[in-house]
Amino acid sequence: MIRILLSFAVATMLGLPAFAKPYTIPSTEVIALRSKQTGANYQLFVSLPSDYRTSKQSYPVVYMLDADYSFALVRNIVQHFVEREDLPPVILVAVAYPGAASDRAVYRMNRTRDYTPAYAPDGGYGAEYQKVSGGGPKFRAFIATELIPLIERRYRAARDDRTIIGHSYGGLFATYVLLTQPALFKRYIIVSPSLWYSNRIALTMEEAAAASGVKPIARVFFAVGSFENQPGVNRSMVDDLAELVEKLKSHNNRNLVVRHRVFEGETHNSVFPAAVTRGLLSVFEDAN
């Protein structure tokens, strides 16, 4: 009550409305979706191109993980570049977890379940969260059989031009998709992937994928901050990513375009904005 009265007094003094309306992001929608594959509830944050309602064209779709911090940021970056003709108009779809924005435990539990490709008793946020780890295959199936079909039924989405953006555990999941079901996306922006997870299981997966003849047809941008090696906790993220990139390039797959950048002076927490900005321009370079 004190806060309301104080706000009213300040607003009156400044000649402003007592209760201002919240800012809303234009041309956006929120869709609730329950997955049969994972059994979890999701919220989809969707941003449509400014000309979507007046045009008849189909648009590339950019899918994002960790929607609570990625959606508004990426939406504004995309709008900035589209208006200056540096990027084509795209539909943005970010996968969110109800309650995760205000409850760190919900955030940690859901992303541990969905973004990790295998169960591991240790690591991550701790043993309690690791109990639900290893749901990556089901989450991949959710994306392939529920999320993408829903978006392509509901919107004019280009079915041959999908992008995924993932950071940290999300980057681990995007790497997992690239190595196991690469045709799901045409473009990958993978930032600070947690390749340390489960004794570097992603690097083992890369070797298995190469041995089985999997040859991705994709444009991939890998990024990491220069301050992300953490020897004390056995997480050499800069070195692990360099090793993965070298392995991918060693196969001489002409249909796999790989870019790799280490952002100087950036940490695991600070690298995402710069990396996603550069990543979008890189993976869509062929579209301009």
* Mean confidence (pLDDT) of the chain: 93
Between the CA of residue 51 and those of 16, 31, 76, 148, what are the distances in Å?
33, 21, 16, 22
Indicate which CATH number applies to the domain containing 248. Answer: 3.40.50.1820
pLDDT at residue 5, as a whole number: 43
8 pLDDT more than 60: no
Return d(Cα 153, Cα 147) in angstroms, integer. 10
Share of the chain above pLDDT 70, in %: 92
pTM of the model: 0.92
pLDDT at residue 196, as a whole number: 95
**DSSP bridge partners of 229:** 236
Tokens read off for 55: 């045009």
Q: Do 264 and 208 contact (CB within 8 A), yes or no?
A: no
Return d(Cα 198, Cα 220) in angstroms, integer. 23
Domains held by the chain: number? 1
DSSP code of residue 285: G
Q: What is the extent of the structural domain holding 201?
A: 2-287
Residue among 215, 158, 218, 213 nearest 185 (CA): 218
pLDDT digits (tens, 9 = 90+) for 135-150: 999 999 999 999 999 9
pLDDT digits (tens, 9 = 90+) for 178-213: 999 999 999 999 999 999 999 999 999 999 999 999
pLDDT at residue 16, as a whole number: 63
